Structure 1
């Protein structure tokens, strides 16, 4: 039995989500200062910069972008329910972000020969005119991640519940999705105040 494009998209999404869990936790460590963030990042790099793991992540990112756009073209989203529209819009932004961000990190490492650590990300979020682009760019990426997770969670719960779907269950799933978005909003705020120099001076 062949695996559908949708299932492969979800599978590669789970791989990326595993990395994002570590990555977001790493960024939250910036609440304790750049030194803590860098120390945790150096430890985590032993995992995700191990070349088979890094190659797998890059392949999953590429597949997510291509398969996601393909699924949008195939299914469309203009006349879809609100949660599907949010899934699509957040997914399209994440496709843009992943392409741009991965290219920037790879160029930093291999072309510019710089350490792509805390200061690589925070530097552009603290100086004009770069911050006018990078603060919204980083903020929207985090919002899109949690919006996408919330939409996927809601859709998955609907699929698992079967028919007929009770209104009480639908409300429950909606509250679960809202909880994910609320947690995402708090995490986004904490990360951005760390990156943008609100808690301490970044030089």
Structure 2
């Protein structure tokens, strides 16, 4: 019994810190995605907004916190998947797991590329750093799906996490009628997050691919 309790507490603690580090990353991504949406107004506007945000997230204590959170997510995510399993889980949990695994791959690859650009290649990792590979052949054959899927998985993961939290709340609700009404509300919220993410993904990718202007 004591061993089971320790195992449960360890999983609960890991899950708790996984969520907390996820909130830190999500806060950064909120500004990062917003920055990319400004690319609809052109590369100059995107870079101007980026220059406003950079002093914040490149302030070394914040950058260390962000990088530590990314590292923790990449490690804790697969560990939670292995411990919990997902083949017999509801569809929304499976989507949450698969999107999280892709985001782990993306964060490793993307952070590595940005760090190499900054410290080894000595290039400015601005709008053109991302848009360049999305417009050159044959690089774009990889980078367009790579960027698109990262955004799709980001919003899918957020929608699923939102739904999981709401389901946890519903399980504590004794009134079946109220629970049914809230379930419909939570379904609409989750669909709304997914659709909004789809529109944002489309707009950002159109901008990165030079549909609105030449790059």
Q: Does 1:125 align with 2:134?
A: yes
Q: CA offset at residue 150 of structure 1?
A: 0.3
Q: Let me know the Cα RMSD of the aligned residues.
A: 1.3
CA distance in 1, matches of 2:80, 2:184: 27
What is the aligned partner in structure 1 of residue 13 from structure 2?
A: 4
Q: Does 1:25 align with 2:34?
A: yes
What is the aligned partner in structure 1 of residue 187 from structure 2?
A: 174
CA distance in 1, matches of 2:182, 2:90: 17
Q: Does 1:135 align with 2:144?
A: yes
Aligned residues: 202
CA distance in 2, matches of 1:192, 1:21: 17
Structure 2 unaligned residues grouped into runs of 5+: 1-8
Q: CA offset at residue 163 of structure 1?
A: 4.0
Q: Does 1:200 align with 2:209?
A: no
The C-alpha deviation readout for 1:127-149, integer Å capped at 9, x for no partner, is: 10000000000000000010000
Counterpart mapping for 1:1-203 below 5 A: 4-161=13-170, 162-164=172-174, 166-202=179-215
The C-alpha deviation readout for 1:4-27, integer Å capped at 9, x for no partner, is: 100000000000000000000000
CA distance in 1, matches of 2:185, 2:31: 28
Q: CA offset at residue 160 of structure 1?
A: 1.8
What is the aligned partner in structure 1 of residue 4 from structure 2?
A: none
Whichever of the two has the greater Rg, that structure is 2
Secondary structure at the counterpart of residue 212 of structure 2: coil
CA distance in 2, matches of 1:57, 1:145: 16
Q: CA offset at residue 167 of structure 1?
A: 3.0
The C-alpha deviation readout for 1:34-93, integer Å capped at 9, x for no partner, is: 000001101100100000000000000000010001000000111100010010000000
TM-score, normalised relative to structure 1: 0.96
Q: CA offset at residue 170 of structure 1?
A: 1.9
CA distance in 1, matches of 2:157, 2:210: 28
TM-score, normalised relative to structure 2: 0.91
